[in-house]
A = this chain, B = another copy of it.
């Protein structure tokens, strides 16, 4: 099996077999047919709910395994009410949407580490990621680990999250500043992989992405909004773990070690369903995003 040699070499393929994909299946069909055993729950403490004025809500999954101090800061900012009244103030076409207070002088809530360490990469040792078997333009190896898109360099022994569509990073000024995480951004166009290993990625948008991607582009330098322009204002930010259990949103991701995931990526690389005449024979990491969904019980509500 050409796909996911790392997984098969390590004997990690899940026991429950997925149905063999038929020619006409789409990647979405494969995801929808994945057995319950192929899905992994996302902890409630890793889900951040951003409520916007007017009723929209974006939900971000945090990545404590990659940027633990920045993620701890994000939780402290959320619990401390730091973002109430904050706004989206930068939307640069084919690049990023950025939000926060945009105010250097606003005091941080208790528990925020003002100058976090440089959490741009971490040792790959112990992760055993699943490889994507197609060439990448930026890194020696790319693939997935615990539902995250990952790049790594076996020679250096280091791994990093990658700047794919919807990934959430921490705005910063110039080195040695890494950003405290009061200002966050998400990728809204072609993957900005040149930022990999240069800035802390701390999560990804798992619901409500269009509240951030479909905004008017800023007219000032770097896509900043003209002063006084507010396209979207934040009314509150909470962690799912702060809500009563029955009110918590509940999400899961498709395990990269499952046969369903392997079939999904193979199909992303080789579309044969009705529309396609020529399976293109490859896919890049950011064009084969890990499927994430509401748990079926919530989706059915």
Contacts and interface: CB of A to CB of B under 8 A. Distances in A.
Interface in A21-35: none
A297 to B, nearest CB: 24
Q: Which A-B residue pairs are the 10 nearest by beta carbons?
A: A135-B135, A137-B284, A138-B282, A134-B137, A210-B217, A197-B278, A137-B282, A165-B190, A93-B210, A94-B165
B135 A174 contact: no
A286 B91 CA distance: 20
Interface stretch (A1-9, A66-74, A248-256, A267-275): A267-275
Contacts of A286: 190
Given A189-B189, A282-B137, A287 B93 contact: no
A196 B271 CA distance: 11
A4 B43 CA distance: 47
A187 B1 CA distance: 32
Interface in A196-218: 196-198, 209-210, 213-217
B287 A190 contact: yes
Given A134-B137, A189-B189, A214-B214, 4 more contacts: A93-B210, A94-B209, A137-B285, A193-B283
A103 interface: no
A164 B190 contact: yes
Taken together, the copies of this chain in the complex come to 2
B213 A94 contact: yes
B215 A283 contact: no
A215 B174 CA distance: 33
7 contacts: A135-B136, A138-B281, A138-B283, A194-B269, A196-B280, A197-B280, A210-B217
Contacts of A139: 282
Contacts of A281: 138
Nearest to A188: B189
Contact of A93 (B93, B209, B268, B284): B209
Most chain-B Cβ atoms within 10 A of its Cβ — which of A94, A134, A139, A209? A94
A190 B190 contact: yes
Nearest to A137: B284
Interface string A128-150: 00000011111100000000000
A197 B269 CA distance: 13
A191 interface: yes
A213 B216 CA distance: 9
B194 A287 contact: yes
A271 to B, nearest CB: 6
Contacts of A164: 190
Contacts of A194: 268-269, 271, 276, 280, 283, 287
A277 interface: yes
Nearest to A176: B277
